[in-house]
Amino acid sequence: MVSVTYIEANGASHVVAVPDGENLMRGALDNGIDGIVGECGGGLACATCHCYVDDAWADRLPMPEPIEGEMLECASAPLKATSRLSCQIVVGPALDGLVVHLPETQF
């Protein structure tokens, strides 16, 4: 299990255990975190799992595939340099302690 901190747009913070090999979107949905919708179920067909990776962690993640960048263009919240689709970030021991911020809206 990996500890992940999800910070909602209103500042509410949730530290949850996400199983190794699971993605951040599923970790949020399985733990009732508001701010992640995951409308397509992680199929890379929407942008309703948009998140902002904390600056301290951004360089530790693999670069997004081009299709993720294309889908992020559909996000309803403003994009930032650390914008990612949480369905595309799979956790493992190297990401223990990861912090992600959630946008104000997914629609």
Q: Residue 87 belongs to a domain with what CATH number?
A: 3.10.20.30
Domain count, the chain: 1
Is 9 among the domain residues? yes
How many residues would you count in the chain? 107
88-97 pLDDT, tens digit per residue, is 999 999 999 9
5-39 pLDDT, tens digit per residue, is 999 999 999 999 999 999 999 999 999 999 999 99
pTM: 0.96
The strand pair at 13-18 and 2-7 is best described as: antiparallel
Distance of CA 16 to the CA centre of its chain: 13
pLDDT of residue 69: 96
34-82 pLDDT, tens digit per residue, is 999 999 999 999 999 999 999 999 999 999 999 999 999 999 999 999 9
Is 38 among the domain residues? yes
Best CA proximity match to 60, nearest among 102, 12, 93: 93
Is 51 among the domain residues? yes
Look up the domain containing 93 and give its range.
2-101
